[in-house]
Structure 1
Amino acid sequence: MATKTKTSFAEGQLKTIVERIERLEEEKKAIAADIKEVYAEAKGNGYDIKILRKVISLRKKEPEERMEEEALLDVYLAALGMVPGEAEEAA
């Protein structure tokens, strides 16, 4: 009898967890649709969506992390000869 009670409890707990995840997945879909709508609005107002996404991505990072990424990007671009003004100096 005790085993059946434990099994019943575990099944109920599992069902609750699955239902919570399903509910959150639905909320996530709704939020994703809202975000898509805001991007469409921004595009309709003339904003570049690719750049807007980059700005949002950068705002999520700490200033130190952004600076480190920018420094590495500068190193890579320089190594590839892609630094603005560098091509003019070489010519």
Structure 2
Amino acid sequence: MSATDTAPAPVVDASSVAADQLKAFIERIERLHEEIAGLKADMKDVYAEAKGTGFDVKALRKIIALRLKDHAERQEEEAILELYMQALGMV
């Protein structure tokens, strides 16, 4: 058996380990983006279904946005909106 027949031991350096770790992060992020795209498509379908049964999608989106906010934050925004509307003579 000659020296050329034996395979050298793999050399592990920090740059290859970092590259593997980076690749793993990138692949995980890509999978998450795919999941998000799927969820967005599902949400679009639900909004279309709601619209098909007569619900106002614009109102649904507004309600969802309000429900996602903290109660105190929502109250503050509503108070500011009311104040501005009064200043403009809209109320």
TM-score (norm. length: structure 2)? 0.85
> Equivalents in 1 of 2:15, 2:36: separation in Å?
31
CA RMSD of aligned residues (A): 1.3
Unaligned runs of 5+ in 1: 84-91
Which entry has the higher C-alpha Rg, 1 or 2? Answer: 2
Matching residue of 1:20: 28
Identical-residue share of aligned pairs (%): 57
Size of the aligned set, in residue pairs, is: 81
Matching residue of 1:58: 66
Alpha-carbon offset, residue 4 of structure 1: 5.4
Unaligned runs of 5+ in 2: 1-10
> Equivalents in 1 of 2:89, 2:12: separation in Å?
71
TM-score (norm. length: structure 1)? 0.85
Q: Per residue, is there more helix in 1 or in 2?
A: 1
> Equivalents in 2 of 1:45, 1:53: separation in Å?
16
Structure-to-structure mapping, 1:1-91, within 5 angstroms: 5-83=13-91
> Equivalents in 2 of 1:63, 1:7: separation in Å?
49
- Deviating beyond 2 angstroms after TM superposition, the runs of 4 or more aligned structure 1 residues are none
